[in-house]
Amino acid sequence: MATPKELYYEKRGKILVKNLQSRHFDAYYCADKEEALKKALELIPEGASISWGGVMSCDQIGLTDAVRKGNYRAIDRSQAKTPEEREQVMRDALLVDVYLTGANGLSLDGQMVNIDGNGNRVAAIVYGPRQVIVVAGMNKVEDTLDAAINRARTVAAPMNKQRFQNQTPCGVTGVCADCKSEGCICNQIVITRHCRPAGRIKFIIVGEDLGF
């Protein structure tokens, strides 16, 4: 029997999927990680070139591992041997067939918020890759766009910053200080409110908590 949380996520997820589709995104609701992985692999053609930025949600459902092991051409910055090679991989990722990403915040009316340090991830979402697949847990969903932006700034970014050694106020305290630090990871904030061409961006909404 489904838990209250699972039922809550499913009901809100169906509203979100409908609203995403009204904005010309492709969108699917998957109850768990296993279903989400199956759906993602259905959407990716064999032999496709695929890349990603920092994407914990895709790691958590097993998608990045499946891509590395499957019949795809993975452009993986984690395999770079030098900073220069890593930079080139990040540039090459802007022209892949499929780009994988998560979301830092989603509003229930179907808008996505992403916050970025270098900008490579949000750049790929906006333009370049032929297809973008967004894997997002229901923990990312807020009632309003303002709340989704606030989540990206005050929850996702400070939590994500704990992974990095160069310190910022939020890295030390866990609280956003609206800083201008050299290591700031809030340099670009992008709201994606509509999909053109229709269907380029595909959402897999997962009825679990994923990512930051």
d(CA 115, CA 167): 17
Q: What is the mean pLDDT of residues 41-60?
A: 96
CB 88 within 8 A of CB 40: no
Mean pLDDT of the chain, nearest integer: 95
Residue 144: which residues within 8 A CB-CB, separation 6 or more?
107, 108, 109
- Residues above pLDDT 90, as percent of the chain: 88
Looking at the predicted structure, is the pLDDT value of residue 188 above 80?
A: yes
**Which pLDDT belongs to residue 5?**
97
Q: What is the pLDDT of residues 86-98, one digit of tens each?
A: 999 999 999 999 9
* pLDDT at residue 164, rounded to an integer: 81
pLDDT at 167: 80
Q: Is the pLDDT of residue 165 over 80?
A: no
Residue of 46 and 163 predicted with greater confidence? 46
In this prediction, residue 129 has a pLDDT band, given cuts at 50, 70 and 90, of: very high
CA distances from residue 134 to 25, 106, 198 in whole angstroms, order as listed: 10, 11, 15
Q: Output the pLDDT for position 53.
A: 87
Cα angle, residue 204 at apex, residues 201 and 206 outer, rounded to 5°: 155
User: In this predicted structure, what is the pLDDT of residue 1?
Assistant: 86
Question: Rg (Cα) of the chain, in Å, rounded?
Answer: 17
CB contact set of 42 (below 8 Å; sequence gap of 6+)? none
Element (H, E) at 69: helix 63-69
What's the whole-number mean pLDDT along residues 43-64? 96
Strand intervals (E) in the chain: 26-30, 49-52, 73-75, 98-101, 105-107, 111-116, 131-137, 141-142, 188-192, 201-206
52-66 average pLDDT score: 95
d(CA 138, CA 14): 11
